[in-house]
Amino acid sequence: MKKYTEQMQQTLLSLLAVNSVQGEPADGAPFGKGTREALDKFLSLAASFGFKTKVVDGMVGWAEIGEGELLGIPFHLDTVPFGEDWSRSPLGEVENGVIYGRGAEDDKGPAVAVLYAIKSLLDEGKLPRRRIRLIAGLNEESGWKCIERYLQTEEVPALSFSPDADFPVIFSEKGVLHVCVSLKKPEEVISFTAGERVNMVADRAVLEVKTLSDAAFSKCLKGGVKVKFIEGGFRLTAEGVSAHGSTPEKGENAVLKILYAVKSSSEFLADLYDYFHQTDGKGLGIDLKDEVSGDLTLNLGRVRTDGDRLLFSLDVRYPAATNEETLLEKLQAVFGADAAITVEGRHLPLYVSPESELVTSLLAAYNEVTGENASPIAIGGATYARAFPNAVAFGPVFPGEESRIHQKDECITVDGLLKCAEIYRAALLKLAF
């Protein structure tokens, strides 16, 4: 794949240059003009390599080549919001062999690696024994309406892998439950706002309160929470470190920084801290686990004020052996009958046998290229794999690698991009050529 390095880098930079955060609907672009522009760029390049392409209602597109049974490779070209305090451009920049930009790892970089892996095999005159269909979604970060639309009218692959998580290969994914908890706003709270997406650790929070105890004021100053006097009270502002909602322990939640500082000011705020500060859900009595997929994770991603209510958006990643009803019952019991609990999104758990052709082929490809003797893994992330039958996630993050997905300065090294492409090429040789 080395001879394609420069082409891959330039293609990725051209995709990163497109702001494909979901935006206002436009003609032919229900998820915003940026998402459609990214899709058109990708499909145009694929068509120049000999792929047949199709756009489905501006929501999702695909590029296909070959004959026979269908192998699907779903990925997404939309991204989460940029966030603040980048040291490089979120719209693409290269420095010292590192490609920076929102989507570099999640998921534009892997999409480019897969496309060029296929091109390298085609350039050698190899003919696919399975049809290969690259399925490009535009709403993965905000609801999966793109894949829902695809499944309504388009052919469902017999087997699939999604380059949108971790290596070596993921045979099980936790269930995902996005829940909004609506609580009555107490008199002492004026407003509370934090976070951008439920599946991101909140990196900024603002709480306005009418009173502030001396102890809380002192804790704010010591804990890096800014305090400003406002008419009728105090405005508290905190900054944290964002991370993916499936790994909240890797971030620093700005909401929790504020709640920790003001615990002594009110019983309500102290309760909120106790509920949410443990990322295994213990504060809510939902600290569940199983042998296959591990511990439950909890992320408080957003806080909003709506009239006399406070809205808390939670991202819960639960073990495959757990069910949604159990979680909702436990949450209702904790927050009480006056709390309104609404499910805003869900993904059921995924499990594919480690002995299947799909998992064994992908794992063999990974081990051959890396020289490792790795085993398949389970994760908390939600990938397109769970939308399709007989599907798993495969890369691009390597074991032990520090990932900046959903964080500032998201990036992928040029060498890492090349290594991904080599692994995807080896996998495609086993599954499709």
Active site residues: 78, 140
Neighbour count for residue 87 (Cβ, 10 Å)? 9
- Yes or no: say if 81 and 20 are a contact pair by the CB < 8 Å rule: no
- Give the Cα separation of 395 and 366 in Å (integer): 9
Pick left, alpha or beta for residue 182 (phi over 0 → left; psi -120 to 50 → alpha; otherwise beta).
beta
Return the sign of the alpha-carbon dihedral for residues 403, 405, 410, 413: positive
Residues across the chain: 433
* DSSP structure string for 94-137: EETTEEESTTTTTTHHHHHHHHHHHHHHHHTT---SSEEEEEEE
Residues 166/379, Cβ–Cβ less than 8 Å: yes
Q: Is 278 helix (H, G, I), strand (E, B) or coil?
A: coil
Tell me the β-bridge partners of 313: 180, 302
127: left (phi over 0), alpha (psi -120 to 50) or beta: beta
Residue 29 DSSP symbol:
B
Angle between helices 254-261 and 214-222 (to 10 degrees): 140
| Main-chain phi, psi angles of 335, to 5 degrees | -85, -20
From CA 148, how far away is CA 383, in angstroms rounded?
A: 14
Question: Which structure tokens are listed for 361?
Answer: 């082929």
Q: What share of the chain is helix, strand, coil (3-state, %, to 5)?
A: 35, 30, 35
Report angle CA 285, 286, 290 to the nearest 5 degrees: 135
Report the SS3 class of residue 316. strand
C-beta of residue 137 within 8 angstroms of C-beta of residue 75: yes
320 vs 317: CA distance, rounded Å: 9
| Selection from 315, 429, 324 nearest residue 369 by Cα | 429
Pairing assessment for the beta strands 70-76 and 159-162 based on DSSP bridges? parallel
- Residue 306, judged by CB atoms within 10 A of its CB (0-12, 13-18, 19+), counts as exposed
